[in-house]
Amino acid sequence: MYSRILILVLLAALLTPPAVFSQTFPFKTYTRADGLAQSAVSAFFQDSRGYMWFGTWGGISRYDGRDFWSYRNSAFRVTSIGEGSN
Query: Read out DSSP for the chain?
Result: -HHHHHHHHHHHHHHS-GGGT----------GGGT-S-S-EEEEEE-TTS-EEEEETTEEEEE-SS-EEEE--BTTBTTGGG-EE-
Amino acid at 4: R
Residue 60 — φ and ψ, nearest 5°?
A: -115, 140
Residues 6-61 have pLDDT tens digits of 787 777 777 776 655 667 788 888 889 999 988 899 999 999 999 999 998 888 99
Q: Quick one: 50 exposed, middle or buried, by C-beta within 10 A (0-12, 13-18, 19+)?
A: exposed
Q: Is the pTM of this model over 0.75?
A: no
Q: Rounded distance, CA 25 to CA 68, Å?
A: 22
pLDDT tens string 54-84:
998 888 999 999 999 998 877 676 666 655 5
